[in-house]
Structure 1
Amino acid sequence: MVNTPFRSVQVTVFLFLISVIASAQVQQELAPPYNIKTVSFRVNNENVYPYFRLGERFTLEFDDLFGNEADYYYSLTHCNYDWTPSSQLSINDYIEGFDNQRIQNYQNSFNTLQIYSRYTLSFPNKFTRILLSGNYILKILDENRDVVFTRRFIVYEEQVSVPVEVKRARNMDVVNEKHNLQFSVKTDAFVFQSPLQNVKVALFQNGRFNNAIYNVKPQYTIGNDLIYRYNKETQFWAGNEYLYFDNKDIRNAVNNIVRVTAGEIYNNILYMDEARANEPYTYYPDINGNFVVNNIRLNVTDINLESDYAWVFFSLSAPAYYGKEDIYIGGMFNNYAKTDEYKMEYDEKRAVYEKAVMIKQGFTNYMYILADKRGNINGKDAIDGNFYQTENDYNVFVYYRMNNERYDRVIGMGYANSENITN
């Protein structure tokens, strides 16, 4: 075939369109492979939701169960409000220095049956400092620069105040099952340009991205204040308090562990959970999906390196859900991943869902997640029900792109807890 100038132009346009489409793809979180465990963002040595003030120090930490001191690298991508890459920014706009660097801080476990290497990636570090607020996707790469897993996080400024209240739903069909967020955006520092188009908000429950609420416009304005007083658009299914187990003493059957057996690593068998959707609400404290690595064995000098892994055996009596949708075990310990590793299997003879998951010892919150075959979460028919009394954390982020600005800034964050719910 003759390569005419016209054909060359066609090829060039085609390749350009392909690159545009690729760059416009929503950056989803990719769950890590089996050997990568206990991935968490941390501030001051505590697990936190993935939200950070611009300039704040934080780390991403994870364990590699292969324990072979493999080389891992990282890259950062700034994203728009909708989690597509910020195509109008170059990497030098949002990073001072370089990314695509090797993670140099890692240590090997000791005094554990399960070996692992623990990696710590700090920001800022000697190579990389984040310059702009906004959405970010952090990619962890292997030595071949293939993506191992990814995590979303949000960097925000404190340019506006965002007072938030948690209210009971007003529509009577869900008044006992949902939380409604009412909030406003206030500032005297500047005047919003075209707020209906340029200001956007994102609402989060307990640090989760998989049930966040987007694309809610201000209901009305009072001067420069933006007011959000919706009835339905800002509602979350309230859920129930998280379940938990505590195996900081990995060899003893206590704190929701019915028995312990020995193998290559310890097996912790939990008491069977019953679906709580049709049971009365019962309050007990949780940590809203978080986990705390811990080991109370004598003479432990480093909790993070001397805490062991155990096979944790979950069982759930919920036969009414069989054959309808899939059930997953989720929490911050696995970033609520809906993968086969955490998908429960149904034993028809016993009418029980079961799954064994390898989890690092300590105190762990978890929940059962109902989802369809495409991974869409069914909050309405939650395994453990929805109760307005449930205590949840809520965060509201405010995004703003001024006229002719090239990226979505995050100019403020609001917080509220449903413990202070009002009618």
Structure 2
Amino acid sequence: MKKYFSLFFIILFFIPLSYSQSDFIEPDYIKTIIFKSTATNNYAPIIRLGEKLILSFDDLNADEHNYTYKIEHCTLDWEVSNLSEFEFINGFAEDRIRDFENSFNTLQPYTNYTLTIPNETTKIKISGNYILSVINEDSEIIFKRKFVVYEPKVTVGVSIYKSRDIATINTKQSVEFIINHPNYNINNPSLEIIPVILQNNNWQTAIIGLKPQFYRGTQLLYKYNKETSFWGGNEFLFFDSKSIRNSTLNIAKVELGKELYHTYLYTNEGRIGKPYTLFPDINGNFIIRTLDGNNSNIDADYSWVHFSLESFENLEGKDIYISGNYNNWQLNNTNKLHHNTETGLYETTILLKQGFYNYLYATKTKNGIISNHDIDGSYFQTENDYTVLVYYKKFGDRYTKVIGIGYGNSEKINN
């Protein structure tokens, strides 16, 4: 019988990361940035080496501007690495975006740009972290997006558990995982293997740097609880504006303004302290779609979406934001709510393309601490996606590889 062997002199080094996927705010005229795998129902820019990513975005200036893209290889902490381009790219790391088309029969004119990677001129050679930048004719960076390329050298088994801490047993979820490497030699796992855990593909709450607790043959076991705990949060709120002229579920009314339609959502109430209610979501993601055309990229229109929140929680010193993957989980003035003294509600208005959107209300303190449960509460039953990325840097290597990936979902949570 195989036995577990504990690492007695292990030094635990885990860091809950807190950074957004973009270091600056995109210009107001750049909207609906979609960057994801081409695989069905995969909303994250994480691909196996050789698979494809697709980038799509709109320019509201609608002037068929010439944009270029640039790909940079990065270190584990997302700094540009010292590798030369020919070491990680076959072809060119920088090239024009040639596929673009103007919107058709929309009140808001725009030019839609699309890019697939790899393509005829750009092919990625190695795994790791990457940054894709879109640059205008004046050599200014318009926006950046991170993406990860992995090679399947190891397999990862992921399980989700209720917290074993009595204080958070009903509010947190813990991730346990096993890295299997029967055909891949790892000399010093505690130093060479760096796992990263993501909840709903949101890098703001990522956990990095856990050491294996046990060895079992060619398996590395990570049986942490507190160190791998995430707030369960609540199911995402949603609306669907695929029919831009009509009110639908969660949309109270639609009005045509001077230039664009205005979509008014029903007022949301804070859900903290209320019983947990299950309803399906897509874990913070969004899908562009319209009933008024065949090609949503250019047929979907824009409307001003009005959000309102009724909350009686003490939020002194905290700002409230509409959070979701629709804007890469960024919290900035574009999606910040403001208190309306006349209605007593927190309100904001965001210009969004037609589609199905998940969102939640997040708070941020003056010190930058982000919470997804101050307003909507946190429940261990909440359905969340979890991803474990396995980074590997052998002693003497010049860059960090990504050698495996594992997925888990809290829908089947273990006690």
- Of 377, 382, 385, the residue aligned with 1:385 is 377
- Indicate the residue corresponding to 1:256 in structure 2: 250
- Indicate the residue corresponding to 1:371 in structure 2: 364
* 1:272 lines up with 2:267 in the alignment: yes
Deviates more, 1:98-107 or 1:238-247: 98-107
Structure 1: runs of 5 or more not aligned: 1-25
- Indicate the residue corresponding to 1:128 in structure 2: 122
* 1:355 lines up with 2:348 in the alignment: yes
- Indicate the residue corresponding to 1:197 in structure 2: 191
> Which amino acid is 1:289 matched to?
G
- Of 294, 297, 301, the residue aligned with 1:301 is 294
Structure 2: runs of 5 or more not aligned: 1-19
Q: Over aligned residues, Cα RMSD in angstroms?
A: 1.6
* 1:141 lines up with 2:135 in the alignment: yes
The CA distance in 1 between the partners of 2:190 and 2:108, in whole Å, is: 54
Aligned-pair CA distance for 1:40: 1.0
- Indicate the residue corresponding to 1:157 in structure 2: 151
Aligned-pair CA distance for 1:273: 0.3
Q: Is the 8 A contact 1:29 1:152 kept in 2?
A: no
Q: Is the 8 A contact 1:106 1:120 kept in 2?
A: yes
Aligned-pair CA distance for 1:47: 6.1
The CA distance in 1 between the partners of 2:222 and 2:256, in whole Å, is: 55
Q: Is the 8 A contact 2:22 2:330 kept in 1?
A: no
- Indicate the residue corresponding to 2:6 in structure 1: none
Q: Is the 8 A contact 2:90 2:125 kept in 1?
A: yes
Q: Is the 8 A contact 1:316 1:352 kept in 2?
A: yes
- Of 396, 412, 415, the residue aligned with 1:420 is 412
The CA distance in 1 between the partners of 2:40 and 2:301, in whole Å, is: 18
Matches within 5 A, 1:82-231: 82-87=77-82, 89-231=83-225
* 1:63 lines up with 2:55 in the alignment: no
Tell me, what secondary structure is at the counterpart of 1:163?
A: strand
Deviates more, 1:58-67 or 1:169-178: 58-67
- Of 49, 57, 60, the residue aligned with 1:54 is 49
Aligned-pair CA distance for 1:363: 1.0
Deviates more, 1:322-331 or 1:406-415: 322-331
Deviations 1:106-137 (A, max 9, x none): 11100110111111111111221111111111
Tell me, what secondary structure is at the counterpart of 2:404?
A: strand
- Indicate the residue corresponding to 2:283 in structure 1: 288
Tell me, what secondary structure is at the counterpart of 1:233?
A: helix
- Of 51, 71, 75, the residue aligned with 2:70 is 75
- Indicate the residue corresponding to 1:401 in structure 2: 393
Tell me, what secondary structure is at the counterpart of 2:194?
A: strand
Tell me, what secondary structure is at the counterpart of 1:139?
A: strand
- Indicate the residue corresponding to 1:8 in structure 2: none
Shift of the 50–374 alpha-carbon distance from structure 1 to 2, 3 Å rule, reads farther
Tell me, what secondary structure is at the counterpart of 1:48?
A: coil
Q: Is the 8 A contact 1:47 1:291 kept in 2?
A: no
The CA distance in 1 between the partners of 2:281 and 2:294, in whole Å, is: 27
Deviations 1:357-380 (A, max 9, x none): 01111111111111123433124x
Q: Is the 8 A contact 1:108 1:305 kept in 2?
A: yes
Q: Is the 8 A contact 1:338 1:375 kept in 2?
A: no
Aligned-pair CA distance for 1:27: 8.4
Tell me, what secondary structure is at the counterpart of 1:92?
A: helix
The CA distance in 2 between the partners of 1:280 and 1:160, in whole Å, is: 41
> Which amino acid is 1:415 matched to?
Y
Deviations 1:73-111 (A, max 9, x none): 111111111212222x11211111112211111111001
Q: Is the 8 A contact 2:386 2:409 kept in 1?
A: yes
TM-score normalised by structure 2 residue count: 0.92
Deviates more, 1:164-173 or 1:382-391: 382-391
- Indicate the residue corresponding to 2:33 in structure 1: 39
Deviates more, 1:27-36 or 1:107-116: 27-36
> Which amino acid is 1:272 matched to?
T
Q: Is the 8 A contact 2:72 2:93 kept in 1?
A: no
Tell me, what secondary structure is at the counterpart of 2:58?
A: strand
The CA distance in 2 between the partners of 1:127 and 1:76, in whole Å, is: 12
Deviations 1:139-165 (A, max 9, x none): 111111111111111111111010000
> Which amino acid is 2:33 matched to?
V
Matches within 5 A, 1:321-336: 321-336=314-329
Q: Is the 8 A contact 1:27 1:84 kept in 2?
A: no
Q: Is the 8 A contact 1:167 1:182 kept in 2?
A: yes
Q: Is the 8 A contact 1:29 1:151 kept in 2?
A: no
> Which amino acid is 2:317 matched to?
K
Deviations 1:203-249 (A, max 9, x none): 00111111111111111212231110011111111110000011111
Tell me, what secondary structure is at the counterpart of 2:47?
A: strand
> Which amino acid is 2:333 matched to?
D
The CA distance in 1 between the partners of 2:40 and 2:155, in whole Å, is: 28
The CA distance in 1 between the partners of 2:375 and 2:27, in whole Å, is: 27
From the two aligned structures, give the one with the greater strand fraction.
Answer: 2
Shift of the 393–38 alpha-carbon distance from structure 1 to 2, 3 Å rule, reads same
- Indicate the residue corresponding to 1:15 in structure 2: none
- Equivalenced residue count is 394
The CA distance in 2 between the partners of 1:376 and 1:50, in whole Å, is: 25
* 1:312 lines up with 2:305 in the alignment: yes
Aligned-pair CA distance for 1:296: 1.4
- Indicate the residue corresponding to 1:10 in structure 2: none
